[in-house]
Amino acid sequence: MQLPFPFAEDPDEISREKGRKLFAGNNSEFLKGVVAMSGLPPADRVEVCFAGRSNVGKSSLINALTGRTRLARASNTPGRTQEVNFFTLADSHYLVDLPGYGYANAPLAVVEKWQRLLKQYLQGRVNLRRAFVLVDSRHGIKDVDQEIMSLLDSAAVTFQVVMTKADKVKEKDRAKVLAQVREKLAKHPAAFPELVLTSSEKGDGIATLRAIIAGLD
């Protein structure tokens, strides 16, 4: 019997090559950091965004996808990314790094400002084709992840869960985490019905995620 929310299949050669070309060479560049809706670039190309709680490995994944080791700033300090960061991808895509959530040390006023901007962005970006919600393979879906997923539900933005740090979890522990993730996702109408398992360090799942992004229009 097919499991709910199976892993995305490996891309065929055509899709893999399309993804490779999109992310090849110096196709990826930082465009701007946005702190208000008025600062958003024109909605004139396909856009995908990445969301995840602090230290889930978001910057590392973006760097692995683009092949640029310092494109997105990785930090051990939760909540360091305080802007909506836009990157151009060739001449056809925007890749968007959303502020990390689940940070305990940020001032409440700052958190509220980030949440307000995030909500406005998700509800008002007509060219946003998919949100990728990153979930740590060791820990599964937390309450703060549920909050962002519910926000995506209400904004009618399709989101796909990307499991990060797959190399950090033992095989015997993975099944339990995956069962929890699938159970939680079943309650979210905006959830795309496939998971992507990744490791930024090992390169697992990177070609698959590139092909998924390249296939959106």
Domain that holds residue 60: 13-172+180-214
Residue 200 lies in a domain: yes
Residue 56 lies in a domain: yes
pLDDT above 70 coverage of the chain, percent: 92
pTM over 0.85: yes
- Return the H-helix or E-strand segment holding 196: strand 196-197
The C-alpha atoms of residue 156 and residue 207 are separated, in whole angstroms, by 27
Residue 201 lies in a domain: yes
Mean pLDDT of the chain: 89
Residue 3 lies in a domain: no
Residue 4 lies in a domain: no
With contact defined as beta carbons under 8 Å apart, do 137 and 167 qualify? no
Residue 135 sits in a domain whose CATH number is 3.40.50.300
Residue 6 lies in a domain: no
Task: Find all residues with CB under 8 Å of 11, minimum gap 6, and list them.
Answer: 19, 207, 208, 211, 212
Length of the chain: 217
Residue 8 lies in a domain: no
Tens digit of each residue's pLDDT (9 = 90 or more) over 29-63? 999 998 889 999 999 999 999 999 888 999 899 99
The predicted structure's pLDDT at residue 153: 95
Residue 107: CA count within 13 A, CB half-sphere = 3
Residue 2 lies in a domain: no
The C-alpha atoms of residue 155 and residue 140 are separated, in whole angstroms, by 23
Q: What's the number of domains the chain is made of?
A: 1
- Going by the DSSP 8-state scheme, the letter that residue 22 receives in this structure is H
